[in-house]
Structure 1
Amino acid sequence: MSSQESKNTVYTQETAPTQYIAVDGVKYAYRSFGQKEGIPLVFFIHFVATMDDWDPALINPLAEKYPIVLVDNKGVGGSGGTTPTSVEEMGDDVVKIIRALGHEKINLLGFSIGGFIAQHVAANYPDLVDKLILAGTSPKGGKYIPDILQHVENARKEEPTNPRLSLFFPKTESGRAAGLAYTERLQRRKKDDRVPPFTQEAIANQAQAIIRFGTENDSFSVIRSIKQPTLIVNGDNDTMVATSNSLDFVQNIPNSKLVIWSDSGHGALYQYHEDFVKEINEFLK
Structure 2
Amino acid sequence: MQSNSNTGNTVFTHETVPTQYVDVKGSKFAYRSFGKQGGIPIIFLQHFTGTMDNWDPAVTNALAKNHHVILFNNKGVSTSSGKTPDSVAEMANDALDFIKALGYSQVDLLGFSLGGFIAQNIAANHPSLVRKVVLAGTGPIGSEGITNLESVINEGFKDGPANALINLFFTKSEESINAGRAFMKRLQLRTNERDTPSTNETIGAQAKAIITFGYLKDDDHKQLSAIKQPVLIVNGTSDLIVPSINSYVLSQHIINSKLIIWGDAGHGGLFQYHEDFVREVEIFLSK
Q: CA RMSD in A?
A: 1.2
1:196 matches 2:196: yes
Partner of 2:269 in structure 1? 268
Distance in 1 between residues matched to 2:153 and 2:51, nearest whole Å: 16
Distance 1:13 1:202 in 2: 24
Instruction: Tell me the equivalent position of 1:224.
Output: 225
> What SS is found at the alignment partner of 1:162?
helix
Contact 1:47 1:113 in 2 (8 A): yes
Matches within 5 A, 1:229-244: 229-244=230-245
Aligned pairs for 1:208-219 (under 5 A) are 208-219=208-219
CA contact (8 A) 1:159 1:165 kept: no
Residue 36 of structure 1 deviates from its aligned partner by 0.7
C-alpha distance in structure 1 between counterparts of 2:206 and 2:132, whole Å? 25
1:1-285 to structure 2, matched below 5 A, reads: 6-190=7-191, 192-219=192-219, 220-285=221-286
Q: Under a length normalisation based on structure 1, what TM-score does the superposition of the two structures give?
A: 0.96
1:243-273: CA deviation from partner (whole Å, max 9, x where unpaired): 0001101100010000000110000000000
For residues 214 and 226 of structure 1, what CA distance do their matches in structure 2 show? Answer: 19
Which amino acid in the other structure matches residue 199 of structure 1?
T
Q: Shift of residue 6 of structure 1? A: 2.8
Structure 1: tracts of 5 or more residues without a match: none
The alignment-based identity, stated in percent, is 51
Deviation at 1:7, TM superposition (A): 2.5
Deviations 1:61-95 (A, max 9, x none): 10000001111001101100000000000001111
Paired residues of 1:158 and 1:166 also in contact (CA < 8 A): no
Counterpart CA distance in 1 for 2:8 and 2:256 is 38
CA distance in 2, matches of 1:182, 1:161: 13
Paired residue total: 281
Q: C-alpha offsets along residues 12-54 of structure 1, whole Å, 9 cap, x if unaligned?
A: 1111110000111111101111011110011001000101110
Distance (whole Å) between structure 2 residues aligned to residue 255 and residue 46 of structure 1:
24
